[in-house]
Structure 1
């Protein structure tokens, strides 16, 4: 069962997939220090993680998605596997995997080389970890939490230290492997897997925040800036493509390649507000979309002229019904104050991006009056309505938390 769970006192849940079954025993996943575990690789977009989950429903049959409902960019978006005791933590802005956190080592076995550690049968004790992964430098002792962090490149183990044995740690200068005077050795309570390219030390508490996403491969189109000139065109910063209003499907194929999907447009529910369009409302119209899910973009063509009439840009925020349908579009909208060529970085304060909240949009473009209320059906949308605000050449769909869910571009 896959659920979205806002990290908020008033929690709401949405079941996207349900596979009935009992809790399973510990599974074994290949551990790759600095790279990932099992099918999950550091730096992967959240949509790829969901794709891996969907491919193995018998293993990942209970999945929770957690996020901060009011400020989704403030905290990680987390995919949690309660049956298997681990989290995937995604950077909230780029929506890429920055940290894998195993919080219940008894529920998950890790396979490293030809050995297993963790689970019910192979306790991840300090001595066992040290024997499997080899010598390393003294770790970091967190006095406040009573936790000793043992660090390897791209991998850390947290061990709780009983109060009577804190002297054994001696500010991180413990004898390794760590054994207590009574002959026992601590068992790890948490394992973190992170990118080690920057040499940062990652562990529990504040050390967990030091994990960053690995750099994108050279030439990657992920999070490519898509610049908008209102009423004119889109410009893609990495590929250099220009896609203007009025372009044909052939033009779009040439610039952006084959679309991920094509579908006929449903009737425009907002047409009733347009006095200039007397067409009767029917279930379908002749217009059709090119869907570029991997770019976070839809392109609407006029069914008669076969020319672009609208662009729809998606921010892919959790808490919206379309979450995980599109990769986040990293758009930059230059306000109508600018004419001619695209403005330089000095004018960035006048730009609207996927991170810009609605109050900031109004400061840039001015007040536009009351919003239209948009719903996607009360039975399949537990997140409630969104609000659509229209300006010349652009409309913003705004979520209740004030973040923009979609931007629709058109020519007035």
Structure 2
């Protein structure tokens, strides 16, 4: 089921046509190819008067199967994010009349500037012949990191001989086609990206060397986290000073109000309503939290987030690219016994075994419209699982 979540809805009419700078192969306006989805939301939140109606679309049953799409229906364009890396791979303008683009000193699109074939050819210059899709009746013209799709009326399909056409394309009656779709994509490869199956050829630009985004975080259950890029080892029992030194200043610090799971511990002598003195270091930009004991000031838990759409915490954290190994930690290269953000619950059970019934976790229907999740506990680790079988959070601890 394709889910569509309105991020914001304002009453009244559309704000009208906006003008965004077009950067072939790089992006449009404030949106850059390769940017993480959370940065796109930051841009949206900073300009609420412009991006007043925003839809988030994703495939609820299998969120890794299709793009996560941020859509601006009033402005006629989509941002398509790779579902695994959650980085922007393709910008798709589907209604050129609703969005005006600025390239150098030229304006493209909008209600008064038709984006015709001849006009685009004049702005961007000569290029190689494009591709004609006979089934769709669409001719696509390509430039580095940029493509324009033009619908061809059936009576003029003979203008596209052997799938190509003479450039600039004009019909015998003196008219020229108007683009129906514009795609902006990474130009570091020679791939041609357009409508239909060609849309799937858009890939995310490579990350710069040393980037911490999607850094693999190796988990040694009951012992430590190991960060693959920086090389830091953060063990249970480490102090706030240790963490601050190795990982830098946290993005947030907050006190844990109530330990909701303490009621399940038969050996814990504390009254079940006691306020908890423990506190979190939140590393939102790295996808995890660290919980410190309020008395000893030592690490007692790590919480790793997958940032799946359809979860109440979506876009609060980036995706933590963790790797958890099963019973044996000797073979650090074995993918068959590892649990990652892409693992589903059935795969976890194959690796760790059945753990019995789940605890039900919900934040209430008012604050969590996505419903409850299921928490399964093992020695040293607990998994919060969504209804679609994907893992939303992983909590690491040392079993007593």
TM-score norm. by structure 1 comes to 0.95
Aligned to 1:364: 351
Q: Could you say which residue in structure 2 is the equivalent of 1:129? A: 120
Once the two structures are TM-superposed, the CA of residue 181 in structure 1 deviates from its matched residue by: 0.5
CA distance in 1, matches of 2:47, 2:4: 25
Cα distance between partner residues in 2 of 1:176 and 1:18: 43
The answer for the alignment partner of 2:287 in structure 1 is: 296
- 1:264 matched to 2:255: yes
Instruction: Say which of 183, 201, 208 aligns to 1:217.
Output: 208
Q: CA deviation at 1:18?
A: 4.3
- 2:64 aligned partner: 73
1:410 aligned to 2:368? no
Which residue, out of 326, 332, 341, partners 1:344? 332
Q: Does 1:329 align with 2:320?
A: yes
Aligned length: 399
Residues 267 and 284 of structure 1 are in contact (CA less than 8 Å); yes or no, is this contact kept in structure 2?
yes
Unaligned runs of 5+ in 2: none
SS at match of 1:75: coil
Instruction: Give unpaired runs (5+ residues) of structure 1.
Output: 1-6
How far is the alpha carbon of 1:25 from its aligned partner? 1.5
Deviation readout 1:307-359 (Å, 9 max, x if unpaired)? 000000000000000000000000000112235xxx332x2210000000000
SS of aligned partner of 1:382: coil
Deviation string 1:39-71 (CA, Å, 9 cap, x unpaired) is 000000000000000000000000000000000
Following the alignment from structure 1 to structure 2, what is the Cα–Cα distance between the partners of residues 21 and 277?
Answer: 56
Pair 1:313–1:22, CA change in 2 (3 A) = same
Q: Which residue of 2 is the match for residue 172 of structure 1?
A: 163
- In the alignment, does 2:383 pair up with 1:392? no
Kept in 1, the 8 Å contact 2:76–2:95? The answer is yes
- SS of equivalent residue, structure 1 residue 105: coil
Change in Cα spacing, 1:37 to 1:212, as seen in structure 2 (3 Å) is: same
Distance (whole Å) between structure 1 residues aligned to residue 193 and residue 299 of structure 2:
48
Q: Deviation per CA, 1:175-201, whole angstroms, max 9, x where unpaired?
A: 111000011100000000000101100
Is 2:340 the counterpart of 1:353? yes
Contact 2:138 2:149 in 1 (8 A): yes
TM-score, scaled relative to structure 2: 0.98
Following the alignment from structure 2 to structure 1, what is the Cα–Cα distance between the partners of residues 69 and 7?
16
Q: Residue 129 of structure 1: CA displacement?
A: 0.5
Q: Does 1:157 align with 2:148?
A: yes
Of the three residues 220, 237, 245, the one matched with 1:229 is 220
Assess, with a 3 A threshold, how the Cα gap between structure 1 residues 283 and 125 changes in structure 2: closer, same or farther.
farther
Q: Distance in 1 between matches of 2:51 and 2:394?
A: 34
CA distance in 1, matches of 2:7, 2:143: 37
**Separation in 1, partners of 2:104, 2:268:** 67
Contact kept? 1:266, 1:283, Cα under 8 Å = no
